[in-house]
Structure 1
Amino acid sequence: MSRFSRFSITAAVLASLTLFLSPTSRGEEPKREKVFVGYLFGPPKDLNYALYTHICHAFVTAGGDGRLNPNRSVPSRAVTTEAHAAGVKVLVSLGGWGWDDQFREIVADPKAEARYVEAVVKLVDEFDYDGIDLDWEYPDADNEVPGFERLTRTFRKRLDAIGKAKGREMLVTMAASSNFGTLSRLDPAFLVETMDWINVMTYDFAGAWSPRAGHNAPLFASSQDGPNGGSTARAMLDFLEKRGVPADRLAVGLPLYGRGFHVPKPYTSIQGSSEKPFDVNYKDAVKRLAEGWKRTWDDETKVPWLTSPDGKKVIGFDDAESIRLKTDWAMSRGFRGVFFWQVDGDRLPDGSNPLQQAAHQAWEAGRAAPK
């Protein structure tokens, strides 16, 4: 998230993408279903499956030798069985933040790569998952690209074979940074060829690496962050306009957490501060509101802030209003849909999920709107 390099697509890449997508090479592109995706991290807690079209079950990790690490939560036949009974598909998420070294080691050793592929494919088949969500964060060096592409194409081929045998579609998705430059080495035509869609993590725009107390996930950039300020809209449009990835292959990330800073007001410098920024789930933000924290609305960025009663801390977070606006925006722009990290973040004691429910209403309205 700390890199903000910019990448210009060459004419050759654009030409290859145009060729790949042309009616003469592929025929008419089918109308793809809109998705409403939740990342499930840890044991499920009375999930409201009616909200989702897909669950990404996180995470399955592995060592550099390609052997899968034990995990008490993933894989789970109970999760796939419950989800399928509700008409929801489940992908197993591979990797996650901090596991890029292991991916690099796996694809550098043919035996490790073969062992890893076999183990993942067996897991998907035996636990009845509907595909994989590849969370290699990130293949951002030239020498990693061949291995990433080879691994992805192998998974695509093997999973399609499982799908043919089971008589149902199998999916391959991936997680991508909101900084499109981290995927600048991946050919857009390759992404379109192999990925059903890409989950763009449009959050973490501010943190300990930032010069000031910015918002975790603004819809639009703040003028106080200068001409290169990050935002959900800017990140998604970069994928469209600078990377050439079609809108229906991109899902917009909606965080169920915010980030706080030990400063009196938003956009105050945090340079030299000894106190680190802190994460706050939405359900904890609700508690802070009850304790007297003040909510203010930033109409430029279309997101709220919380200020502590003593005026010494601020939290940039999302609530039902901002989540609804983001979902409206995503649907109006023709994106594949939205996804949430992670589904327990807005779970309140009464069993409700206020942010995901607000988003679902907007998602349904956008899906039904005439085009």
Structure 2
Amino acid sequence: MSTNQSSSKSVSLLNSSERPSPTRNNGKTKKYILQFLIICVVAAPIAYLLTSLFVSSIETLNNEQNQKRVVGYYTVWEEKKLTMDQLKKLTHIIFMFADVQEDGSVNIHDSHAVKRIWDMKEIISMARKQGMKVMIAVGGHLTSIRFPPTLEDPVKKKNLMESIANLFEEYDIDGIEIFWMWPTEEDKVKHLKLVREVRQQLTSMKESKGKTKDYVLSVITSRYSHFRENIYYNEIMKHVDFVNVLTHDWRFMREYVGPLAPLYGGRKDSIDDAMKYLTCFTKQPSKLNLGIPLFGIFWTNTTFPIDDTKQRLCVPKTGEKIAYEVRWRDRSSNRWKNVQTSWHNISRTPYIWKSDEKMFSSFENERSLKEKVDYARINNIGGVVIYAIDQDEDNKLMSAITSVRLESGDDVNDIKYHCE
């Protein structure tokens, strides 16, 4: 009995005064719910804002990565000034050229050239605010031959690197292009080392100036296999932002007659051949720009070059070994009055053949330009490069180029060619 009593006493029972009040509990619950709702109301806009900023930053990054380039060369030798209508169509503008001097230094020394670059800078300030990059091409048609001896001489090489840095200080540019026409087999390593060392210098300049964005660096190559084969592309791609694939070459045009920049056709070296080779070899179509010339060429004392039955697009130049440039503005001259323009279906290019004068002319028109841009889109090429924007006097050619959508909607390095 005593055991039972002891057990009963060990059971703790709450009396009425010690039991929790339902009313008090409900009050606390409501208080907690109210606090939670207040936190949700206050935090929701902040969470939404942070999420929006995060998504926006990701979209901006993707847009920057996926943005197709429209690069325009601006020459020292033309007279036409830039217009805002032209500039708003570009992502990059490249001034040609800063010449390589005998001592290895590079500069823009000719008074006309200096005026041209300052005329350019006067009008580009608004376009730069919208993100357009300004660059200078170093080298060029006449002084590229000075690259090899400059790189072999330590003093000249020091002059080269210091003067490249001076271009940034003097002209407040965003980048440079190494416009080397064309490295030989013996120059392959020199070319690679130059690109690598220039990138290292640009990185040091960026850090010393406290800049957040890298300076832009680009190089050129050619659609002609015997010119393009002396570049270490996969190593170069580690250091450059893009490669401009020029689809014309003066040395070729002085020796041969045929379409200036054929999209397809011939036994080799069409634009399609070059872009497929470079894409399949590098696996980086996003770093390639397809070159589009805006000038035309005509040859005299020649035979008709095109023969589809023989897969022939060109013939050796006979008579005077001279190719004459023709501008869009020259269409009003007597030579071009009342002439019929023909279209070559295989190369996708227009031409003029005057049999009585034995004159053949190759050029671009709105149709061929649109097809080249569409080709770049279909094959997910990173952009186009226009040679040159100041050769388009009435802005019709640039308008044709930019009227075609470049964005493909694909991932930046999706490969559209059937690579072997």
Distance 1:147 1:315, change over 3 A: same
Task: Trace 1:23-34 onto structure 2 (pairs within 5 A).
Answer: 31-34=65-68
1:308 shift after superposition: 3.8
- Seen in structure 2, the aligned counterparts of structure 1 residues 282 and 76 have a Cα distance that, compared at 3 Å, is closer
Task: Find the counterpart in structure 2 of residue 182 from structure 1.
Answer: 227
Aligned counterpart in structure 2 of residue 231 of structure 1, from 253, 257, 270: 270
Q: State the 1:358 CA deviation.
A: 0.5
Residue 192 of structure 2 aligns with which residue?
149
Whole-angstrom distance in 2 between the partners of 1:118 and 1:178: 32
Following the alignment from structure 2 to structure 1, what is the Cα–Cα distance between the partners of residues 66 and 218? 14
Structure (1/2) with the larger helix percentage: 2
Q: Aligned residue for 1:6?
A: none
Contact 1:60/1:92 (<8 A) preserved = yes
Aligned equivalents of 1:50 and 1:272: distance in 2?
Answer: 43
Query: Which whole-Å CA distance do the structure 2 matches of 1:245 and 1:183 have between them?
Result: 17
Alpha-carbon shift at residue 180 of structure 1 (Å): 3.9
Match of 1:117 in 2: 161
What are the Cα deviations for residues 124-177 of structure 1, in whole angstroms up to 9, with x where unaligned? 1331100101101122222x2333222222211221233342333310001112
Q: Give me the CA root mean square deviation.
A: 2.6
The residue number in structure 1 matching 2:105 is 67
Q: CA deviation at 1:370?
A: 6.5
Q: TM-score, normalised by structure 2?
A: 0.71
Question: How many residues in Structure 1 have an aligned counterpart in Structure 2?
Answer: 328
Percent sequence identity over aligned pairs: 22
How high is the TM-score relative to the length of structure 1?
A: 0.80
Question: Which residue of structure 2 aligns with residue 169 of structure 1?
Answer: 214
Measured in 1, the distance between the counterparts of 2:119 and 2:296 equals 31
Quick check: 2:68–2:383 contact (8 Å CA) kept in 1? yes
The corresponding residue for 1:79 is: 120
Pairwise CA distance, 1:337: 0.6
Inter-partner Cα distance in structure 2 for 1:328 and 1:293:
28
| Residues 279-327 of structure 1 deviation map (CA, whole Å, 9 limit, x = unaligned) | 2123324656861111111111111112348453121111010000001
Residue 256 in 1 paired to residue 294 in 2?
yes
Give the gaps of 5 or more residues in structure 1. Answer: 1-27
Secondary structure of 1:193's match?
coil
1:343 Cα deviation after fit: 1.4
Cα drift, residue 77 of structure 1: 5.1
Distance 1:244 1:370 in 2: 18
Please state whether the residue corresponding to 1:167 is helix, strand or coil: coil
Q: How has the CA–CA distance of structure 1 residues 166 and 84 changed in structure 2, closer, same or farther, with 3 Å as cutoff?
A: farther
Instruction: Tell me if structure 2 keeps the 8 A contact 1:67–1:116.
Output: yes
- How far off is 1:121 after superposition? 0.8
SS at match of 1:61: strand
**Alignment of 1:46 onto 2:86:** no
Any conservation in 2 of the 1:256–1:343 contact (CA below 8 Å)? yes
Counterpart CA distance in 2 for 1:360 and 1:247 is: 20
In the alignment, structure 1 residue 218 sits paired with structure 2 residue 262: yes
Query: How far apart, CA to CA, are the structure 1 residues paired with 2:336 and 2:142?
Result: 35
Contact 1:94 1:135 in 2 (8 A): yes
Q: Give the secondary-structure state (helix, strand or coil) at the position aligned to 2:106.
A: coil
What is the CA–CA distance in structure 1 between the aligned matches of 2:320 and 2:277, rounded to whole Å? 34
1:361 equivalenced with 2:368 (yes/no)? no
Whole-Å Cα distance in 2 between the matches of residues 314 and 186 of structure 1? 33
Q: Is the 8 A contact 2:69 2:92 kept in 1?
A: yes
